[in-house]
């Protein structure tokens, strides 16, 4: 058995820390970038979901705990940098429901990363709409659900396809 101090395993502890730092930085850059890309729909608060790419990549390469941890850190940091408390609440509600759904679907062999990400986009929008209905104490926000579901499915699927292309590269890099 190799000890942590052996030459073959010299940097094994620093690799995850470095990787997670880079993934958090990438998620934050993608969060900032999506605030700069206009959304051609008239639904309040609609975004592209670009940081979900990092979540999907981590979910498939490192597992649920790192994926959820980096996603929660990204939500808190980007919320304080680019939004506020309401942005954090909306993002958390969408992210938690989305992550739970993605985690369940990932375990099923019939779903690829594209399908898992697509479901994540849909569930994220449902979670955020439920949070908005709870905060504003009205059901009128559910009016926006149809276009949000369509947008979440499309962007989630596209990010999933991108992740399918990146996963082999990331796995090769990590091993």
Mind listing the pLDDT tens digit for each residue in 71-92?
999 999 999 988 888 889 999 9
- d(CA 129, CA 44) in angstroms, rounded, equals 11
Q: Report residue 42's pLDDT band, with 50, 70 and 90 as the boundaries.
A: low
Kindly list the domain boundaries of the chain, sorted by start residue: 11-174
pLDDT digits 0-9 by tens, 121-151: 999 999 999 998 998 888 788 888 999 999 9
Q: Report residue 175's pLDDT band, with 50, 70 and 90 as the boundaries.
A: confident
Q: Output the CA–CA distances (angstroms, integers) from residue 165 to 61, 114, 139, in the order listed.
A: 13, 10, 39
- d(CA 58, CA 89) in angstroms, rounded, equals 23
> Residue 12: is its pLDDT beyond 70?
no
Q: What are phi and psi of 83, to 5 degrees?
A: -135, -110
Q: Is 6 left (phi over 0), alpha (psi -120 to 50) or beta?
A: beta
Does the domain at residues 11-174 carry the CATH identifier 1.10.1760.20?
yes
- The mean predicted confidence, pLDDT, of the chain is 88
Classify residue 111 by its DSSP letter.
Answer: -
What local confidence, expressed as pLDDT, does residue 39 receive? Answer: 77
- d(CA 84, CA 82) in angstroms, rounded, equals 7
Q: Half-sphere exposure of residue 139, counting CA atoms within 13 Å on the CB side?
A: 0
> Residue 45: is its pLDDT beyond 80?
no
């Amino acid at each position: 058995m190799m000890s942590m101090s052996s030459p073959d395993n010299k940097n094994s502890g620093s690799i995850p820390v470095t990787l997670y730092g880079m993934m958090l930085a990438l998620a934050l850059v993608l969060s900032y970038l999506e605030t700069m890309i206009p959304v051609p729909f008239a639904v309040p608060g609609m975004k592209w979901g670009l940081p979900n790419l990092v979540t999907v990549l981590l979910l498939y390469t490192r597992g649920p705990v790192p994926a959820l941890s980096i996603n929660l850190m990204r939500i808190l940091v980007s919320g304080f940098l680019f939004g506020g408390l309401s942005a954090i609440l909306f993002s958390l509600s969408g992210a938690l429901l989305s992550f739970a759904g993605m985690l369940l679907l990932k375990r099923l062999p019939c779903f690829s990363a594209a399908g898992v990400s697509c479901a994540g986009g849909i569930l994220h929008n449902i979670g955020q709409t439920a949070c908005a209905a709870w905060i504003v104490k009205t059901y009128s926000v559910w009016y926006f659900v149809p276009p949000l579901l369509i947008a979440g499915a499309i962007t989630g699927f596209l990010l999933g396809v991108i992740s399918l292309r990146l996963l082999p590269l990331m796995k090769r890099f990590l091993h």
